[in-house]
């Protein structure tokens, strides 16, 4: 039988998700390799070998090693904020949302220390970046927490003070804890660290009569 017209192509249907999956695979492995070897010493060919793909395939997705590194760091911060959102989503009470968000933050870096290392390397290798990746993501997502704190102040559950001060101190505590864990090794579990941070943030260090005495002096 003679077929006319264009021959139909048979075989597996095109996997529309393959480019996205491949990109994520490259970034996941790149984060580990950059964290282990450092930005300068990381060879893209070795990364390609790890994945069983050609070096050209990596460069099809990322035009340079710099672009690959920054994309890997950006992915890490995206995953961090997804973990925080998922962790706090189940809590109805705003203060419990804060509790679960802090636990999720510390849990993420506990299970993915490579991203703490990438943040440190970024500050050292790319001083030309005006806003490092960590802080760019932080600023993009701070609005939710500003509204949450404003609501708690309006409800009389949090002392009336500038919301920016509350969030700045809380952010610095978390960021500092993450870096300290990475540099010195964590001695307490992330659950214990979260509860310690929350105890100081929610209750302070002064007993009621001392707070009252200092308030009178002010």
Residue 153: predicted pLDDT: 98
Question: Among candidates 32, 66, 38, which has minimal Cα distance to 50?
Answer: 32
Number of other residues whose CB lies within 10 A of the CB of residue 171 = 15
3-state secondary structure of 129: coil
- CATH number of the domain enclosing 175: 1.10.357.10
Distance of CA 136 to the CA centre of its chain: 11
Q: What domain range includes position 105?
A: 65-205
In a domain? residue 184: yes
pLDDT tens digit at each of 218 positions of the chain:
455 555 545 666 777 788 899 999 999 999 999 999 999 999 999 999 999 999 999 999 999 999 999 999 999 999 999 999 999 998 999 999 999 999 999 999 999 999 999 999 999 999 999 999 999 999 999 999 999 999 999 999 999 999 999 999 999 999 999 999 999 987 799 999 999 999 999 999 999 889 888 876 65
Residue 175: predicted pLDDT: 97
In a domain? residue 27: no
> In this structure, what token pair is assigned to residue 149?
């704190």
In a domain? residue 50: no
In a domain? residue 106: yes
In a domain? residue 29: no
How far apart CA 129 and CA 121 sit, in angstroms, is 12
Split into its structural domains, the chain has a count of 1
């Amino acid at each position: 039988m003679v077929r006319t017209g264009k021959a139909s192509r048979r075989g597996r249907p095109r996997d529309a998700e393959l480019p996205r999956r491949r990109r994520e695979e490259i970034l996941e492995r790149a984060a580990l390799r950059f964290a282990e070897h450092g930005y300068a010493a990381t060879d893209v060919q070795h990364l390609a070998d790890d994945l069983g793909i050609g070096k050209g395939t990596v460069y099809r997705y990322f035009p340079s090693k710099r672009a690959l590194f920054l994309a890997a760091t950006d992915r890490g911060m995206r995953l961090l904020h997804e973990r925080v959102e998922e962790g706090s989503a189940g809590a109805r009470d705003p203060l419990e949302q804060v509790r679960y968000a802090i636990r999720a933050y510390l849990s993420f870096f506990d299970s993915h220390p490579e991203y703490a290392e990438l943040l440190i390397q970024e500050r050292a290798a790319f001083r030309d970046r005006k806003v490092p990746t960590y802080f760019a993501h932080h600023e993009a997502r701070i609005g939710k927490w500003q509204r949450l704190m404003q609501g708690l102040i309006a409800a009389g559950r949090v002392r009336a003070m500038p919301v920016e001060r509350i969030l700045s101190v809380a952010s610095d505590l978390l960021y500092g804890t993450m870096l300290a864990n990475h540099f010195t090794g964590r001695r307490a579990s992330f659950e214990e660290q979260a509860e310690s941070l929350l105890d100081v943030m929610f209750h302070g260090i002064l007993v009621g009569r001392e707070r009252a005495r200092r308030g009178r002096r002010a």
